[in-house]
Amino acid sequence: MAQQETDQSVNDEFIVDTEDCEERETAHRERGTSRPITVVGNPVLHKECKDVTEFDDDLARLIDDMFASQRTAEGVGLAANQIGVDLKVFVYDCMDDEGVRHVGHVCNPVLEELPAGRRILDDSNEGCLSVPTAYAPLARPDYAVVRGQDMKGNPIAVQGTGYFARCLQHETDHLYGYLYIDRLSKRDRKDALRQMAEGTPRYPVVPND
């Protein structure tokens, strides 16, 4: 997810992703190698990714590369298919609306269905590293819970509010073959693609042949 200019109490059910953020992100990034970003039209972005079944050194290296790639692109979230890898894993380094930084990763994420009473929509602008230089308002719930596994295969749950909730929903969408522009009206999608065509990415991208 591209960067742009909680009312839930802490619960032992959720991982703590707000501690030692700088140290953890730096360690991942320095071990990793930055890769170019795939953009809309690349087939890997438009289909559901494969489940992660091997929680091994290769997965750990992929997560390191994703953090490195995310930093190069100045993003707040990155899904594996955005660097051309067909696996259900995303990483994030994202502030919530209260200015709290969250850093982590999720394998095989599943977005929890919210009860009607928790579905308060926020129609802020959204962007995507795979649709560079384009932004559009998109209504999403301002609270999200994602369940999945960590890089060792342990079950985890992540919760987010505000902008971080948007990030969790956005990255989970990626792994099931959806870009944020797929949720826009035809008119708004066309406008986002126009913005992309007229802009110049600030990071390396993979051209669609």
Confidence label for 75 from pLDDT (cuts 50, 70 and 90) = very high
Q: What is the pTM of this model?
A: 0.93
Marked catalytic residue, from 13, 98, 171, 198: 171
The answer to whether 110 and 146 have CB atoms below 8 angstroms apart is: yes
pLDDT of residue 119: 87
pLDDT of residue 7: 39
Beta strands in 36-79 (DSSP E): 37-38, 77-79
Percent of the chain whose predicted confidence (pLDDT) is above 70: 96
Percent of the chain whose predicted confidence (pLDDT) is above 90: 90
Q: Rounded mean pLDDT of 58-64? A: 98
Angstrom distance (rounded) from CA 184 to CA 118? 22
Our answer to whether residue 22 is catalytic in this structure is no
Tens-digit pLDDT profile for residues 150-185: 999 999 999 999 999 999 999 999 999 999 999 999
pLDDT of residue 1: 86
